[in-house]
Amino acid sequence: MTRIDPGLNGAVVRPGDEVHLTEEGWVRPMKMTLSPEQFEQFRAGYRCPRCFSVQSTAFPEECETIWRDTGEPCGFRIKDKLNDWLDFEFRGEETLWPDREDALDDDRERESFRKRTGIWLPGDD
């Protein structure tokens, strides 16, 4: 299942590849793909990694956000823990969609080939 996360417009969130055993049971972490601009907000200390909210200053002591459902502060210690979070969570860059027009042309050509012959084998590129 892929969804767009409401806290980060345009971010793509998918189930991760790993499963972890926690005190609450088995958990499959989510894999989130951000735009370069959104990632820069995290790196620069302007976005909380727990609740994804934008902060008024870079690297505040704690996240300023109050949870709507409980009224409690998020409280993530951005100044102390953000760099450790980035080191642990960042998995590198990933291209989700072709960014070249010729890649789209290749896909269109493959689709038209399938329609004409009805035969297509994986690996026949």
pLDDT, residue 27, reads 80
Is the pLDDT at 1 greater than 80? The verdict is no
pLDDT, residue 76, reads 92
What is the mean predicted confidence (pLDDT) over 77-101? 77
Is the pLDDT at 65 greater than 60? The verdict is yes
pLDDT, residue 21, reads 84
Residue 96 and residue 12 in contact, taking contact as beta carbons nearer than 8 Å: yes
Q: Roughly how many angstroms between the first and final C-alpha of the chain, as a whole number? A: 27
Q: Please, which residues have CB within 8 angstroms of residue 86's CB and are 6 or more apart in sequence? A: 42, 43, 49
- Among 17-31, 59-73, 76-90, 91-105, the minimum mean pLDDT is found in 91-105
Domain boundary assignment for the chain: 3-94, 97-125
Query: Which phi and psi (to 5°) does residue 27 adopt?
Result: -130, 135
Q: Between 1 and 91, whose confidence is greater?
A: 91
DSSP class per residue in 12-48: EEEE-S--EEETTEEE--EEEE--HHHHHHHHTT-B-
- pLDDT per residue as tens digits for the range 20-49: 788 878 887 777 788 888 889 999 999 998
Largest pairwise CA distance in the chain: 63
pTM of the full structure: 0.59
Query: Burial of 70 by CB count in 10 Å (0-12 exposed, 13-18 middle, 19+ buried)?
Result: exposed
